[in-house]
A = this chain, B = another copy of it.
Amino acid sequence: MKQWNEKCAVVGTYNVDNAALKSYYALFAMQHRGQEASGISSSDGKKIYTHKGNGLVTKVFNEKNLKKLLGKISIGHNRYSTAGKESLDDAQPLFARYNLGEISIVHNGNLTNADFIRSQLIEAGAIFQSYLDTENLIHLIAQNKKEKLLDRIIDSIKVIDGAYALIFLSRRKMFAIRDPYGLRPLCLGKITNEDGSIGYITASESCAFDLVGAEYIREVNPGEMLIFEGIGEKIVTLTSLQVLPPRPYPCVFEFIYFARPDSKVFGKNVYEVRKNLGKELAKEYKIPADMVIPVPDSGVAAAIGFAKESGIDFELGIIRNHYVGRTFIEPTQSARELKVRLKLNPIAELIKDKEIIVIDDSIVRGTTSKQIIKILKIAGAKKVHLLISSPQTISPCYYGVDTPNSNELICATHSLEEVRKFIEADTLGFLSLEGLKRSIGTTHHNFCQACFDKNYVDDYTKGKK
């Protein structure tokens, strides 16, 4: 039984004024990472308060319920939307009372040995009230006999495999940990309170820092744990522990699609990397055309880079409608291209009789690309060349991304030419793996790009490679 902790957002704030409100703003800034559910736990040093619910951050929280989240420490979570499953039991933070008191956890990622650990825990007499792999961690901590929570967390972390950016909240402390591969992002910032005292924030993306006036310090390192202590005392102590030896393979898809362009993840600005993807793409595909247009919003930065490198005019030739929501009355089968048109509409006057290059970030099933090309052709485009700012997606992700199985990935089952024909593009091109590497530039480590090359990070650690 596979359970995903898909693309999510986590945040933690320590020793900051209105801690829960700060987490609220941070979650709002990271809303793009998860729209299904949202939740915040806070602590005033004596008790942990939790509120969570289904829906957008702005729906789940209001002034009344935020005010009940007392204290200067808080953690928060946005949950990614997966079709057909809306269970409040699976919203985070996950809170419990146990033998050391109270604990609350948020998690972005996916634990690859969760089923095995769960079955062991159940064998030992644990009961499970959610489908979250995160619930394992609470049980591991509760059943551990050591006296200090820190030791128990470290023991528990050593048992789990997979991808995680985790934040633990006890009544007086906070712990932030990233898996040894550093698959999911987590960064650290500093907040200066109104009275001049110093607090900290840790979040999946740095765009969360801007909204709460925090200063970016650095990434949490792969395998590193940050321990925040001393609430109520004169000085907050921030300790770094290298819990697990780092084997850095951060997820390259954060650059390609997930993260907001104004965020810094893995130490690099996303917008700049995306522009580079477009520039590299332009070096690899020299196609004469009247203009280059992005599929909004995901293709915009790459298209700007492509235009600059190629000298072809950049145009915002497709307009996106941002009002589409869950309650939309969908059209019937008979007008299938309407579905994409609800979100995207081309500017016919601009496109008519023109040869255009369209930039998108990736192709999954190919159906959306096919519809986009169709509406461009209906609008009068003479030729449509679709260029993708990443390599062909041929293998699923096991580290927290909700990709379909291989047999649903069109590039895994079809040749480039077959895909081109299916989507009815005049040209179809993907960025090479080398181009991808060049776009990111110099780093001291590699990235996980298993979705493109099938080299899964734990194959390395498990000796499979």
Contacts and interface: CB of A to CB of B under 8 A. Distances in A.
B125 A142 contact: yes
Contacts of A313: 308
A98 interface: yes
Interface stretch (A55-63, A230-238, A355-363): A55-63
Contacts of A207: 319, 345
Interface string A311-344: 0011110010111110111010011001001100
Contact of A329 (B61, B96, B260, B300): B61
A100 to B, nearest CB: 9
A320 B62 CA distance: 23
Interface in A15-45: 21, 24-25, 28-29, 31-32
Given A98-B125, A213-B335, A346 B58 contact: no
A261 B58 contact: no
A314 B304 contact: yes
A136 B272 CA distance: 55
A95 interface: yes
Given A125-B143, A316-B301, A342 B28 contact: yes
A251 B9 CA distance: 45
A323 B62 contact: no
A113 interface: no
A99 to B, nearest CB: 5
A99 B123 contact: yes
A304 B327 contact: no
A210 B122 contact: no
A264 B24 CA distance: 40
A329 B122 contact: no
A241 interface: no
B269 A350 contact: yes
Given A96-B129, A322-B322, A264 B122 contact: no
A99 B56 CA distance: 35
Contacts of A126: 98, 126-127, 142
A72 to B, nearest CB: 17
Contact of A316 (B142, B261, B322, B323): B261
B127 A329 contact: no
Interface string A143-167: 1100000000000000000000000
A284 interface: no
Interface in A172-219: 194, 207, 210-211, 213
Given A58-B325, A316-B300, A329-B24, A127 B97 contact: yes
A61 B59 CA distance: 20
Given A97-B127, A125-B98, A329-B24, A262 B345 contact: yes
A329 B125 contact: no
A95 B129 contact: yes
Interface string A243-276: 0000000000000000011101000010110000
Contacts of A261: 316, 319, 347
A453 interface: no
A289 interface: no
22 contacts: A28-B323, A28-B342, A29-B345, A58-B323, A58-B324, A58-B325, A62-B327, A62-B329, A95-B129, A96-B129, A98-B122, A99-B125, A125-B142, A127-B142, A211-B345, A260-B319, A261-B316, A261-B319, A262-B346, A264-B349, A269-B349, A307-B314
Shortest 6 CB-CB contacts between residues of A and residues of B = A125-B143, A269-B349, A96-B127, A262-B319, A97-B128, A322-B322
Interface of A: 21, 24-25, 28-29, 31-32, 56-59, 61-63, 66, 88, 95-99, 122-129, 138-139, 142-144, 194, 207, 210-211, 213, 260-262, 264, 269, 271-272, 300-301, 304, 307-308, 313-316, 319, 321-325, 327-329, 331, 334-335, 338, 341-342, 345-350
Given A99-B124, A210-B348, A211-B342, 4 more contacts: A28-B321, A31-B321, A58-B327, A97-B128
